[in-house]
Amino acid sequence: MQDEGYNWTVWGPVLGRHSQLARRQDALVIVRRLMQAIPAAWREAADAVAVAHLGTLQSPTLTTATMAAARARVCANLGWHTRDGEAVRLGSLTVALATKIQSLKSLEMISARHGEHLDRVQVFDNLLPAAFAALPPVKSVTRRWWKLRVPNTYKEAAWRLFLNGFPTTARMHNQQHSPCAACGVLGPDVGHHFWTCPVAIAVRSEIEGQLRAHQVGGQPMLLVDGSVPCSALWLGVKPHPGLHRTVWDMVCLAAVHAMDVGRCVAWSVTHPEDQAAAPLPLLAVERVAGRAAIAAFWDVLGDFAATATIARTARTVRLTQQPFLSWNVILMHGSGLHIVRR
C-alpha cells in the first residue's frame, strides 16, 4: 500500500488521523500486535469469511484507479447527522447545512431552556398533563412574535425570559441571599420577577382590568377565575376567543417588557448613585416600580399603534372592537390603530 493510498483510505477516514498512526509502518506494527492478541480460532473464522467473499486473502495492487474507487466508496458513507436525524453526506454538504450542524450544541441548549420555560408555565397554571401537552411550542411562539414590526428593545425581555437569561439572584451564585428590590423576597428568579412579584402583578392587574371592562360583539370578556393565566402572557395563548391575534401578541410583548422595566426601576431606586441618600421603604419602591411598569406597558402599545402597518387581511370587524389596540376605519391618518384604555 502506498503512503498516499494509506492516508486517503485508512488513516483519515478509518483511524481518525491519530498522530501515532500517521506512518503506515507504525500502524502495521500496532495491527500485528492486535492480530497476535486475537485468539487463533477467531482469526481462522475471519479468514474463512474473507475467502468466501473475496476468493483470496491477498491484498490487490493499489493503482490510482483503485485508490480513487476506494476513496469514493469511503467518502460516500461519511457525513453527519442533524438534530432531526437527517443524514448529511459529504457530497451534499452546503453552507446552510454546515452552519446548522455547527450550531447543534447551541440548539440543544436552547431547546432545553425552552423546556424549562414550559415547566414554569405548568407550575404557575397548575396544568394537568393533557393541558400541558396542548401548550404551543416556544419555538412557534417566538417565530410569531419576532415577526411583529416593533423595535427589538421590546422583544429582548421576552427572548431572555424564554432562555432564563436574566441575571437574577437565583442564577448568581455569589448573591443567593440578595432580596428582590421591589418586595424583599430572597433569591428571586424569573418566575418571581415576571409573575409573582408585586410589580408583575400590577401589570397583570392592568391587563385583567382592561379585559373585564371591554366587550367584543356585545359580549363581555370574562376571564376564567377572574385572572389571566401564565400561559396567556408567557406563550401568547389567547384567554378569550374574541381577542385578535396580533393585538394579543403585542399585549404579551408589552407586558413582559413592562415587567422588566419595573424590575430595573426597583433596582435603581434601591441602589441610588448617591450613597448618602436615604433608602426608600419597600412599599414606596413597589409603588414607584409598579407605576413605571404600567407606564412602560402603555408606551409600547402606543408606539406600536403609531408606527405599525395593518395588513388589509387583518382589517376585520373584530379588530375594530378590541381592547388595548383597535383599528378605526374612519381614522384617515397613520395606521388607523389607536389605544383603547378603560
In a domain, 95, yes or no: no
> How many domains are there within the chain?
2
pLDDT class of 56 with cuts at 50, 70, 90: low
More confident residue, 238 or 75: 238
DSSP secondary structure code for residue 193 in this structure: I
Handedness of CA 163, 123, 140, 114 (dihedral sign): positive
Structural domain span for residue 28: 3-77
Q: Are residues 21 and 149 in the same domain?
A: no
In a domain, 152, yes or no: yes
pLDDT of residue 59: 53
11, pLDDT greater than 60: no
The answer to whether residues 228 and 207 touch, using CB atoms and an 8 Å cutoff, is: yes
In a domain, 292, yes or no: yes
pLDDT digits (tens, 9 = 90+) for 96-107: 878 877 887 888
Q: Are residues 147 and 10 in the same domain?
A: no
Alpha helix positions (H), 151-229: 153-163, 190-191, 198-213
pLDDT of residue 176: 60
Chosen domain end from 36, 57, 77: 77
Chosen domain end from 44, 60, 77: 77
The count of C-alpha atoms lying within 13 angstroms of the C-alpha of 339, restricted to the half-sphere facing its C-beta, is 13
Per cent of the chain over pLDDT 90 is: 39
Q: Are residues 283 and 153 in the same domain?
A: yes
pLDDT of residue 220: 66
pLDDT of residue 2: 47
Residue 255 corresponds to which cell in the numbers above?
407586558
278, pLDDT greater than 90: no
Q: Are residues 73 and 179 in the same domain?
A: no
Q: Are residues 49 and 147 in the same domain?
A: no
CA distance 266 to 274: 16
Q: Are residues 316 and 220 in the same domain?
A: yes
In a domain, 110, yes or no: no
CA distance 226 to 206: 13
Q: Are residues 181 and 37 in the same domain?
A: no
* C-alpha distance from residue 239 to each of 231, 233, 249 (Å): 9, 9, 12
pLDDT digits (tens, 9 = 90+) for 173-219: 665 678 899 998 988 999 999 999 999 999 999 999 999 888 766 66
In a domain, 83, yes or no: no
pLDDT of residue 134: 92
CA distance 77 to 109: 29
Give the bridge partners for 89, in sequence order. Answer: 79
Cβ partners under 8 Å of residue 313, min gap 6: none
The answer to whether residues 8 and 15 touch, using CB atoms and an 8 Å cutoff, is: no
Q: Are residues 193 and 287 in the same domain?
A: yes
Chosen domain end from 77, 92, 114: 77
pLDDT of residue 247: 92
- pTM, to two decimals: 0.72
